[in-house]
Chains A and B, each alone.
Chain A
Amino acid sequence: MANPAETAPLGPVPGAFAEDAEADARFLARKRYLAWRRRLLPIAAILVFLLLWWQAVVQFDIKPFIAPSPVAVAHVLVERFDILMVNLAPTAIEAVCGFLLGNFAAITLATVFVYNKTSEEALFPIAVMVNTIPVVAKAPILVLLLGNGMEPKIAIAAIICFFPTLVNMTRGLRDVRAEQLELMRILSATSTEVFFRIRVPNALPYLFSALKIAASTSVIGAIVGEWIGSNTGIGALIIQATYNFDSPLLYATIVVGSTFSALFFGVISLAERSMLRWHTAHKDQ
């Protein structure tokens, strides 16, 4: 009558998970190797690409004003570092301000949408329409409206960030599991408690995917804004270098702009990692 499974002592079977220092060491070495591989492979690819580019310029005798060699670009990066930095500063300020403004507005509107369906039905089509206007078309309109200072550039960067965050945040705030809402009702939680303890944390992974897109696009927005009627900034420098056929400076400017974009993206990714430990850990598995 007695069930053997019940009488047998429960617990780890001796020997099943025996200590094996050698196997552990091999496992760790393999893990280290894979980590280094992941870091070094892209660097190696970039080096090969630079080498091919340089060789192409030399072999086919390409004129510097058509395409400069990487050596010439590196030379400009060092020689005219101060000018590049002086021009990066306004672009960086515009991009970051636009990023903050656009995302703040998008998060606020997403919150309104979640609690008021009518506002979404009325306003969302307008947001879609504004989003379909190309940046190069938005830029002159905003320069006419806001003048020649930093304001139109910040506005362009903000508008460009706005849409992805609005869509993602609305979805994140709304796509809450029905059981979690029922649970909060059983607990007689207030709607403020539901918002801050369920909806906001639920929306964070959605928000961060939008913020990562916005980090790079806000820089693009600021640069495009500087193409029209601006004397300083990465965008102005790009136009100036193009008109002067100074292609080494043009390339160096692009390198500086892209590096800043990548750093901005990296900062957002780091913030995501520290704030969404529960989520990124889940993804790694």
Chain B
Amino acid sequence: MAETAVSCEGVSVRFTSERGTVTALQSIDLTIARGSFLTLLGPSGCGKSTLLRVMADLVAPTSGRVSVMGGAPQAARESRQIGFVFQDPALLAWRTVLDNVSLPLQVGGGKALPGARSPQELLSLVGLTGWEKAYPHELSGGMRQRVAIARALVSGPRLLLMDEPFGALDEITRDRLNEELLQLWETTGTTIVFVTHSIYEAAFLGQSVLLLAARPGRVRETVPVTLPMPRRLAQRETPEFVALAGHLRRVLETC
């Protein structure tokens, strides 16, 4: 059994607003091994994004214990072990591509980061060499998300959290980025937790798929994905993949 990257024990999150209290997550127990690729799949409102934000120390759990890289989420965040990719690329419009990727090295004590990598090297890793001086508005949606991924990786994080990063992209771009992300995962060895509402994306990317049920958000089932790595898009046409996707769909319908 590999070392643990993230563990949650009885994690609950409740939000209180004028319309009353909403239980976003209820007694979540899960363990994510270091170096693994886990996808979180569930209907909207099941708290997948909230769970990701709990791991990133953006949302504090109401009860339960969370440990990230052997410590509290806050310690993992402050030692810059966490990279986060949002659904919106959240690039700074006034910075060039290179300056956007360099941002994590310029703030929050990033100058003296031991695991930091060169922004140039990461841009070439995401296939954007030659676009260093471009501004975000000059890029396509897929390229912007590539910049966001390079930015998340530049500080050398050991845990990469991705919140529906390809949700707003067209299907062809999404497919290509899915393949590229798997290659990136293999070359960097980073633990990835990937939130999606696409059954195919969840099954294609993950070593296992964690299905969440909604209202309140809770773990429904963990489905291991046995498809061999490295995965190619054509594998989505194999009977094994079709059967897996069918199973995920049936479970999802009851969530």
Contact = CB atoms under 8 A, between A and B. Distances in A.
B131 interface: no
A3 B90 CA distance: 34
Interface stretch (A107-115, A239-247, A275-283): A275-283
B234 A6 contact: yes
Given A1-B237, A6-B233, A179-B88, A184 B94 contact: no
B109 A188 contact: yes
Interface in A220-237: none
A193 B93 CA distance: 17
B108 A189 contact: yes
B137 A281 contact: yes
A278 B135 CA distance: 7
Contact of B58 (A185, A193, A285): A185
Interface in B24-67: 56-58
Interface string A174-189: 0001011011111111
B93 A279 contact: yes
B82 interface: yes
Interface string B199-217: 0000000000000000000
Interface residues of A, number: 28
Nearest to B56: A186
Contacts of A193: 107-108
A249 B83 CA distance: 68
Contacts of A188: 77-78, 80, 107-109
B211 to A, nearest CB: 25
A197 interface: yes
A190 interface: yes
Given A1-B237, A3-B234, A177-B88, A187 B108 contact: yes
Interface string B63-90: 0000000000000011010111010101
Nearest to A3: B234
A198 interface: yes
A184 B77 CA distance: 11
Which interface residue of B90, B95, B107, B110 has the most chain A CB atoms within 10 A? B107
B115 to A, nearest CB: 14
A189 B90 contact: no
B122 to A, nearest CB: 15
B92 interface: yes
Contacts of B80: 187-188
Contact of B94 (A177, A187, A278): A278
A184 B92 CA distance: 11
A40 interface: no
B103 interface: yes
Contacts of A182: 58, 84, 86, 90
Contacts of B58: 182, 185-186
A179 B87 CA distance: 9
A70 interface: no
A201 interface: yes
Contacts of A185: 57-58, 77
A180 B107 contact: no
A179 B86 contact: yes
A2 interface: yes
A23 B186 CA distance: 48
Given A1-B234, A189-B107, A189-B108, A198 B92 contact: yes
Interface in A157-198: 177, 179-180, 182-190, 193, 197-198
Nearest to A276: B94
Interface string A50-94: 000000000000000000000000000000000000000000000
Interface in A13-56: none
B108 A190 contact: yes
20 contacts: A1-B237, A6-B234, A179-B90, A180-B90, A180-B92, A183-B90, A184-B107, A186-B77, A186-B82, A186-B83, A188-B108, A188-B109, A189-B108, A197-B106, A197-B107, A278-B93, A278-B137, A281-B135, A281-B137, A282-B93
Q: Which 4 pairs across A and B sit closest by C-beta, in order of nearness?
A: A179-B90, A188-B108, A189-B107, A187-B108
Interface of A: 1-3, 6, 177, 179-180, 182-190, 193, 197-198, 201-202, 204, 276, 278-279, 281-282, 285
Given A3-B234, A188-B109, 7 more contacts: A3-B233, A186-B58, A186-B84, A187-B80, A190-B107, A190-B108, A285-B137
